[in-house]
Amino acid sequence: MIRQEIRNVAIIAHVDHGKTTLVDQLLRQSGQFRASELQGDCILDSNPIERERGITILAKNCAIRYTDRSGKDFHINIIDTPGHADFGGEVERVLKMADGVLLLVDAVEGTMPQTRYVLSKALANGLRPIVVINKMDRPEARVHEVHEEVFDLLVDLGADNRILDFPVIYAAGRQGWAVADLDRLPKEGEVGDVHDLFDAIIKHIPAPKFNPDAPLQVLITNLDYSDYVGRIGIGRVFAGTLHAGQDIMTIDRFGEQKLQKINQLLRFEGLGRMEVDRIEVGDICAVVGLEKVDIGDTLADPENPIALPAVHVDEPTLHMTFRINDGPFAGQDGKYVTSRQIRERLQKELQSNVALAVDFGGTSEEFEVAGRGLLHLGILLENMRREGYELAVGKPKAIFKEVNGKRQEPIELLAVDSPNETVGAVMQMMGDRRGELGKMEVRGRRTHIEFMVPARGLIGLRSRILAVTQGEAIIHHTFDRYDDYRGPMPGRANGVMIATDGGMVTAYALKELSDRGQMFVRPGDNVYAGQVVGEHCKDNDIEVNIVRMKKLTNMRQSIKEATFTLRAPRDLSLEAALEYIEDDELVELTPQFIRIRKRYLNETDRKRNARRIADTAAASS
């Protein structure tokens, strides 16, 4: 049987191709909301970090009541997904709730690394795409070329003939229009609408099919939390009917069963949720009142409990060490500083962040945390900072594997859009990082280049490529496969300046050190011995007295002291600091400060550790 009035659709795309902006227009033109209810842009990006960075981090649900041109009513569940490769785990699990996808592709950039990734996951789940070529209002739009790129990508991914005959919608999310025919593009000054997109969803996204005699099966693919009711499981009803107050059997991914009772059922309605007595098969809902529920759990009939296949998520490719902050300023700024508090926060994160892995073994002060990329782990650290946690983290490192006796490492597909005149510098930099050229295409004044590069070669790459391209390069990457180890990678080209004494930074000391390199601190900042206060202009580390004051004497000078101007220090963001550090350094994170320090604060300890590493390397060779 089929529930004709329901459509479940996920919106997938590469980062910054306009998913959330297009959802804004679907909400505004559905006729369900007053203008005052939908304020601003990127309405679904409600997380503060999402709004600051302009990207979607968490997958979100909303629902639209839509009446088509013939007067039929439909309930359309929309799932907005992240576009960045590091949050691919969010995409993988929420695709289980959808019956089809809208694949957005930028009319200028075309298919990008994350386009391939999200489309491959959609095809693996048997979902047919509706291709939306977005940003058609850009003057440099390449409509026909992008259409061919999508077709070629589907062929590469092994799509069958039915999927290759995909419907296409041409849209401009910011302008608020979408049409099914190029001949009907709005002329300058005309106001369009997105009703062709609604029609395509209703026509091409299949309605949920179900067996009326099958026992209850609900797959939990997302979690929410309320201070009043606790954990809330969000998922789709695949079989049966779910009732408020009903007893259900929870089956986790390991097969363990637990009998529980549902207190409330919430159906998605607009941007919020509405309490209902029952949820029919094929719909998406939120379940309240379960003591224990996790992503991948099945809610089943207690008399006939049958588990659904668990959500499969690709393995992490990058790991780093989280440890307590044992520096001289520990506890001065943060609210949560102990290893127990950090452990509890990481355990809480594991409940909803399925792409994360944490090793709680080893010492009680350190935890090995693995994720899908530097941004994935960086967002976790930024959230912990804002919640009042204080900790130190080590250098990100790639996760290696042993396959048939060979050491293998994660390989990423990297796409770089560079000005034509800087292509040579980009190629040289990627060659130094063991990158292999896969594709090169000139697009007007810019060149699109694709490389296969080890994941460890991407650490610190963005800032260097932006430097050689005068800030004009556009860089994206996504995990491709594991392959044989490609050899050593060059490290940081410059050494650092290390503070020898603690205290307050003085302008006099900064002036005297200005010719030694770029500083990370300002006059008046408090520092401690062992803290990295700047980048040396040469390749070796040096120790400097950054708190030195000018000696006062009772002798008059022959000339008045000249006024001097200090160079502005380099302000390192969290991700920039993580990319910058080497193995013997840590990033110290507090709610107010980001500092770089040496792992061993004492100079004698640093020298002893350097000799030990050198002896170990000599013995192994």
Looking at the structure, tell me whether residues 35 and 140 fall in a common domain.
yes
Q: What is the pLDDT of residues 315-364, one digit of tens each?
A: 888 899 999 998 899 888 889 999 999 999 998 888 777 788 898 877 77
Categorize the per-residue pLDDT at 270 as very low, low, confident or very high, splitting at 50, 70 and 90: confident
Number of domains the chain is built from: 3
Looking at the structure, tell me whether residues 198 and 239 fall in a common domain.
no
- 407 within a domain of the structure (yes/no): yes
Counting residues of the chain whose pLDDT is more than 70, the rounded percentage is: 93
- Of 594, 596, 590, 593, which is closest to residue 387 (Cα–Cα)? 590
As a whole number, mean pLDDT of residues 467-493 equals 84
> Given the DSSP bridges, would you call strands 6-13 and 531-536 parallel, antiparallel or unpaired?
unpaired
pLDDT for residue 555:
64
Categorize the per-residue pLDDT at 60 as very low, low, confident or very high, splitting at 50, 70 and 90: confident
> Given the DSSP bridges, would you call strands 128-134 and 100-106 parallel, antiparallel or unpaired?
parallel
Looking at the structure, tell me whether residues 26 and 96 fall in a common domain.
yes
As a whole number, mean pLDDT of residues 401-429 equals 88
Angstrom CA distances, 429 to 156, 424, 464, stand at 29, 9, 9
Looking at the structure, tell me whether residues 242 and 290 fall in a common domain.
yes
Looking at the structure, tell me whether residues 158 and 265 fall in a common domain.
no
CA–CA dist 468, 428 (Å, integer): 11
Least confident of 133-137, 251-255, 531-535: 251-255
Looking at the structure, tell me whether residues 172 and 25 fall in a common domain.
yes
Which of the listed residues 300, 332, 351 is the one where a domain comes to its end? Answer: 300
CA–CA dist 136, 133 (Å, integer): 7
Which of the listed residues 448, 464, 484 is the one where a domain comes to its end? Answer: 484
Q: Residue 558: is its pLDDT beyond 70?
A: no
pLDDT for residue 31:
67
Looking at the structure, tell me whether residues 187 and 103 fall in a common domain.
yes
Does an H or E element contain 507, and which? Answer: helix 507-513
- 321 within a domain of the structure (yes/no): no
Q: What CATH number is attached to the domain comprising 228?
A: 2.40.30.10
CB 176 within 8 Å of CB 182? no
Looking at the structure, tell me whether residues 198 and 261 fall in a common domain.
no
pLDDT for residue 560:
52
Q: Residue 556: is its pLDDT beyond 70?
A: no
Query: In which domain, by residue range, is 427 found?
Result: 401-484
As a whole number, mean pLDDT of residues 134-141 equals 86
- 607 within a domain of the structure (yes/no): no
Say whether 252 sits in a helix, a strand or coil.
Answer: coil
- Of 422, 10, 478, which is closest to residue 201 (Cα–Cα)? 10
Categorize the per-residue pLDDT at 66 as very low, low, confident or very high, splitting at 50, 70 and 90: confident
- 565 within a domain of the structure (yes/no): no
- 261 within a domain of the structure (yes/no): yes
Angstrom CA distances, 368 to 384, 411, 596, stand at 16, 21, 19
- Hunting for tokens 């896969």 — which residue is that? 438
Does the reported pTM lie above 0.85? no
pLDDT for residue 493:
82
Q: What CATH number is attached to the domain comprising 446?
A: 3.30.70.240
Looking at the structure, tell me whether residues 256 and 198 fall in a common domain.
no
Q: Residue 38: is its pLDDT beyond 60?
A: no
CB 83 within 8 Å of CB 56? yes
Q: Residue 393: is its pLDDT beyond 90?
A: yes
Q: What is the pLDDT of residues 10-35, one digit of tens each?
A: 988 887 777 778 888 888 777 666 55
- Hunting for tokens 């590069």 — which residue is that? 453
- 98 within a domain of the structure (yes/no): yes
- 359 within a domain of the structure (yes/no): no
Within 8 A by CB and 6+ apart from 78, the residues are: 9, 10, 11, 23, 26, 61, 62, 63, 64
Q: Dig out the tokens for 233 from the structure.
A: 């499981």
Q: What CATH number is attached to the domain comprising 198?
A: 3.40.50.300
Looking at the structure, tell me whether residues 223 and 172 fall in a common domain.
no
Q: Residue 491: is its pLDDT beyond 90?
A: no
CB 373 within 8 Å of CB 410? no
- 62 within a domain of the structure (yes/no): yes
Helices (H), 391-487: 423-432, 461-468
pLDDT for residue 551:
77
pLDDT for residue 241:
86
pLDDT for residue 35:
56
Burial-class residue 215 by CB neighbours within 10 Å (0-12, 13-18, 19+): middle
- Of 513, 586, 588, 583, which is closest to residue 547 (Cα–Cα)? 513
Looking at the structure, tell me whether residues 174 and 285 fall in a common domain.
no
List, as one string, the DSSP characters of 165-200. Answer: S--EEEEETTTTEEES-GGGPPPTT----SHHHHHH
Q: Residue 193: is its pLDDT beyond 70?
A: yes
Which of the listed residues 176, 204, 232 is the one where a domain comes to its end? Answer: 204
Chain-centroid distance, C-alpha 107: 23
Looking at the structure, tell me whether residues 131 and 246 fall in a common domain.
no
CB 171 within 8 Å of CB 136? yes
